[in-house]
Amino acid sequence: MKTLKELKESRGALVTTLTALQGLLNVEKRSMTTEEGAEFDSTSAKIDALDIEIRRAEKLEEIARTAAPGVSTKNEEKEQRAFSFSKLIREAGDNKLSGLEKEMVEESALEARSLGITPSGIYLSNNVMNLKMKESRTMSVGTSTAGGNFVPLEKLGFFDALYAKTVLDQLGATKLTGLSNNVDLTGFSAGVSVAWAAETADAASGDPTTAARQLRSSRIAGYSDVSKQLLLQSNQSIDAEIINSFVRALAVAIEAAAINGSGSSNQPTGLLNTSGIGSVAIGTNGGAPTLAKILELVQVVETANAGIDGKFLINPKLVAKLKQTTIDSGSGAMLMSYMAYFNGMSDQIDGKPVFSTSNVPSNLTKGSSSSVCSAMIYGDWSNLVVGQFGGVELVVDPLSQAIGNKTRIVVNQHIGIAVKQPAAFGAIVDLTTT
């Protein structure tokens, strides 16, 4: 029969499998395949069976503990180790014992009476003293050899790294999934034209101009090596946490490329580097945002007959700047309203929605303003297309790094970026925020 620890470890491994499947489905935004459904049902049944075995094992441990009152379980030992002499001394001085210390003193008093002892002060049982004496001398936990080595250490919870906010879904960018071959998005770069003509004159040619926007696969990948000892000893499903962290990292990296991908070094070409988007410049060396320039940006897009559903995208530095920059010298109103002051609407400029992410660059250069300029983008975001070729490939490799006693976790994804109508966007790329 497996021990309680072994049962819980087996259950944890099965939960990790289902967590990885959930992460994959969330990324690909799809339902389970027939094979995945069968695997899910089988794994769920195994978890249910293990839950029954775990409850039985826990009950057996409880029965064994109550049948042998002189033997402390690990939980009891942990609780006794949490017993604080300093708290006991403080509260005993006021004759106001509380919490675990009060319970231990009362239990110890029972032991004293059974032994015929009448203490002149507080009596502490052998169980408490034996455990505490293993940890305590006249000790200082700040020094390892003077007591710090005996301080118990426990890892609680899990926290992930900080990632940039992802906003393209909220902006309305077009997502294409399930692609396998290279794709050309076809359409009209200029529509059909008509002209006024005399009653019997020939009509003018009105042929549209066709265009194709290439959507080509670019690979984004990463791996992490995790020691097998960590996987065995962690009280968290650390491999599942690493996979979840990869999923978040992929989403952030894809959005960063969609906004400002260089088109080189295996990156796709992002919006800011796409030829044909509208452009508004602040000055030779850049400069602070003004209402006139922001309205000019909107004008550039809407003059191109786009921007019907226009939205702004900026970074947090620019948010802070806009909320402190007045529209004029007299009204007191800000370019981007702070809350609802001066009848403004939060998170809007000129009545149009504003979204913010640190994926919008703040390290651009214009003239002498080196690596300090921010971008502002305005447009109809449905014209930005993010194509996903296949799904996320996840490899848990316990063999290639076996010589170092490590398991390698690898992720791969293939993504393409395209802009259907570049004129549907405009950008200012030389805004300073200091």
Distances (CA, A) of 150 to 76, 80, 88, 135, 203: 17, 14, 20, 5, 95
H helix runs in 33-82, sequence order: 34-67, 74-81
Q: Residue 352's closest CA among 380, 328, 332, 315?
A: 380
CB 385 within 8 A of CB 420: yes
Number of alpha helices (DSSP H) and beta strands (DSSP E) in the chain: 11, 13
Entry pTM: 0.63
d(C-alpha 115, C-alpha 214), whole Å: 88
- Give the end-to-end CA distance of the chain in Å, rounded to a whole number: 68
CB 277 within 8 A of CB 394: no
Residues 6+ apart with CB under 8 A from 60: none
d(C-alpha 245, C-alpha 248), whole Å: 5
Beta strands in 180-324 (DSSP E): 183-190, 209-215, 218-227, 278-279, 311-314
**pLDDT by residue for the chain (434 residues), tens digit each?**
678 788 888 888 888 888 888 888 887 888 888 888 888 888 988 888 888 888 888 877 777 665 544 444 555 555 555 666 556 655 665 577 788 778 877 877 776 677 666 765 666 665 665 554 444 444 455 566 555 665 666 665 667 788 899 999 999 999 998 888 889 999 988 888 899 999 889 888 888 898 999 999 999 999 888 887 776 665 556 666 777 788 889 999 999 999 999 999 899 999 999 999 999 999 999 999 999 999 999 999 999 998 788 999 999 999 999 999 999 888 788 999 876 666 667 789 988 999 999 999 999 999 999 999 999 999 999 999 999 988 888 777 888 888 888 888 888 899 999 999 999 999 999 999 99
CATH superfamily of 155-434: Major capsid protein gp5 (3.30.2400.10)
The domain limits of the chain are: 4-67, 74-150, 155-434
The CATH architecture to which 4-67 belongs is Up-down Bundle (1.20)
